[in-house]
Amino acid sequence: MATDSVALPVVYGGSTRPPRGDYSRGGQVALDYTCPQNYAAYTEADHNTYRRLYERQCKLLPGLACDEFIAALPSLGAIDRIPRFDDINERLTKATGWRLVAVPGLIPEVPFFTLLANRQFPVTDWIRKPEEFDYIVEPDIFHDLFGHVPLLFDPVFADHMQAYGAGGLKAHGLGACEQLARLYWYTIEFGLMQQADGLRAYGAGILSSSGELVHAIKSAEPQRIALDVLRCMRTRYNIDAYQQTYFVIDSFQQLFDLTAPDFTPLYARLNMLP
């Protein structure tokens, strides 16, 4: 679906730093910001980075990641090289009707929400440099794929992500994207779940970070509180340090149910509160 029109680079999250991806790619980026996964561009060093990140993270998962994530991880396929999105899609679409689409990096809110509402998940196709092995400011393919995609194989979580996309479009119309972004941050990115056998992570920002995975579950420092949508939307977050607060759910069904009500009155209330 490439077009002649070049999608404009975006500045996101109130940052003045320009995004790192190449948003022109010689006309390969469509108006909805999707593009072909540039598989030929990966070097052996890139595949190697992916394999090393995958290996390190996999070893950490038992006892720290939720069961649904661990069960679905093998569905990503290749572990020794960067997977092809088309290959994952053959399984993912059968499982939950979702499909991965490649993007050159972070994209603006409306196209992002629109893709999610249509059960299409945007995955950045480039990978970090070896010197960014432990920390990268912007999401790359390892964060997007390893962190987010396994749970799209879970039927309840998959439905929640679609509902989030539709809710995002609505929030955009109501000027409430910032509030909704906090919910995203504390659930889809940094959410914890109380499982029968202990506390586990399901948020992609935790699951794709070796340091935060241990910190989120084991450290005595952060506070961990039961998910409350209003409180969550009133809690500011930090993008460049481990979280000081984590919100905990019991199950994806609970997450789905807590976020199912119409947020319109909630946004109105939030605007009145300090």
Chain contacts with ligand PHE (rule: CB under 6 A): 160, 163-164, 167, 170, 183, 259-263
Among residues 105 and 167, whose Cβ is nearest to ligand PHE?
167
What does 204 interact with, of ligand PHE, Fe ion, none (CB < 5 to 8 A by kind)? Fe ion
In the complex, the smallest distance separating the C-beta of residue 205 from Fe ion, rounded to whole angstroms, is: 6
Among residues 170 and 224, whose Cβ is nearest to ligand PHE?
170
In the complex, the smallest distance separating the C-beta of residue 180 from ligand PHE, rounded to whole angstroms, is: 6
What does 163 interact with, of Fe ion, ligand PHE, none (CB < 5 to 8 A by kind)? ligand PHE
Whether 208 is catalytic: yes
What does 128 interact with, of Fe ion, ligand PHE, none (CB < 5 to 8 A by kind)? none
Both tokens assigned to 6: 């070049």
Contact 189, 203 (CB under 8 A): yes
* DSSP secondary structure string for all residues of the chain: ---SSPPPP---TT--SPPSS-S-GGGTS-TTS-B---GGG--HHHHHHHHHHHHHHHHH-TTTB-HHHHHHGGGG--SSSPPPHHHHHHHHHHHHS-EEEEESS---HHHHHHHHHTTEEEEE-----GGGSS--SS--HIIIIIIISGGGGSHHHHHHHHHHHHHHHHHHHTT-HHHHHHHHIIIIIT-EEEETTEEEE--HHHHT-HHHHHHHHH-SSSEEEE--HHHHHT----SSS--SEEEEES-HHHHHHHH-S--HHHHHHHHH--
In the complex, the smallest distance separating the C-beta of residue 237 from ligand PHE, rounded to whole angstroms, is: 16
Catalytic residue among 68, 208, 209, 212: 208
Both tokens assigned to 235: 């809690």
Of the candidates 121, 118, 58, the one whose C-alpha atom is nearest the C-alpha of residue 88 is: 121
Catalytic residue among 143, 160, 209, 212: 143
**According to the binding rule CB under 5 A, does residue 117 interact with Fe ion?**
no
Both tokens assigned to 92: 């993912």
Of the candidates 157, 130, 182, the one whose C-alpha atom is nearest the C-alpha of residue 66 is: 157
**According to the binding rule CB under 5 A, does residue 115 interact with Fe ion?**
no
**According to the binding rule CB under 5 A, does residue 141 interact with Fe ion?**
no
Among residues 45 and 260, whose Cβ is nearest to ligand PHE?
260
In the complex, the smallest distance separating the C-beta of residue 253 from ligand PHE, rounded to whole angstroms, is: 13
The label of the residue with tokens 């960067």 reads 82
Catalytic residue among 68, 148, 160, 209: 148
Whether 160 is catalytic: no
**According to the binding rule CB under 5 A, does residue 201 interact with Fe ion?**
no
In the complex, the smallest distance separating the C-beta of residue 256 from ligand PHE, rounded to whole angstroms, is: 7
What does 263 interact with, of ligand PHE, Fe ion, none (CB < 5 to 8 A by kind)? ligand PHE
**According to the binding rule CB under 5 A, does residue 192 interact with Fe ion?**
no
**According to the binding rule CB under 5 A, does residue 204 interact with Fe ion?**
yes
Stretch touching Fe ion by CB under 5 A, among 83-91, 164-172, 175-183, 199-207: 199-207
Q: Under the rule (CB under 5 A), what is the footprint of Fe ion?
A: 204
Active-site positions read 143, 148, 189, 208
